[in-house]
């Protein structure tokens, strides 16, 4: 029962991250000169691709006990890359706008990074359960 609850939590966090990234970093960017035309942005697509991989591939890997080690590894890599990318994005945005120091916490991606690490620790708990059960 705990395994199913953790798997559901892992999936729901991944879906929520996917929707959040799509809303914030929509990879179809409107053209400034022609408002009706949208262009593909490869950079913003990566912000959509990582949560998509997390939602589909990582969840599928954690379903089976034999492949949960690969799910754990891929989940960890996604979280580390996401932490680096989101930290860089925050630092670049906040320094470019010369934001006051108080905004560096409240208007940064620190809460998003916390959600990503929560996703990782749910995956770790699933991995530990899969390792202990026969």
pLDDT, one tens digit per residue, over 51-102 is: 999 999 999 999 999 999 999 999 999 999 999 998 888 888 777 777 777 7
| Per-residue pLDDT at 117 | 95
What is the pTM for the complete model shown? 0.85
| Per-residue pLDDT at 110 | 86
**pLDDT digit string (tens) for 10-41?**
999 999 999 988 888 888 888 778 888 888 88
> For the range 81-85, what are the long-range contacts, defined as Cβ-Cβ under 8 Å and sequence gap of 24 or more?
81/50, 82/50, 82/113, 82/116, 83/113, 83/116, 83/117, 85/46, 85/47
| Per-residue pLDDT at 29 | 83
């Amino acid at each position: 029962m705990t395994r199913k609850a953790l798997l559901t939590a892992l999936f729901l966090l991944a879906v929520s991250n996917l929707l959040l990234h799509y809303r914030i970093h929509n990879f179809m960017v409107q053209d400034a000169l022609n408002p009706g035309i949208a262009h593909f942005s490869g950079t913003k697509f990566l912000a959509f691709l990582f949560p998509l991989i997390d939602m589909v591939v990582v969840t599928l890997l954690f379903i089976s006990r034999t492949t949960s080690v690969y799910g754990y590894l891929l989940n960890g890599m996604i979280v580390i890359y996401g932490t680096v990318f989101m930290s860089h994005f925050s630092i670049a945005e906040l320094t470019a706008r010369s934001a006051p120091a108080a905004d560096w916490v409240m208007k940064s991606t620190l809460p998003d990074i916390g959600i990503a690490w929560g996703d990782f620790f749910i995956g770790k708990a699933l991995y530990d359960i899969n390792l202990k059960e026969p």
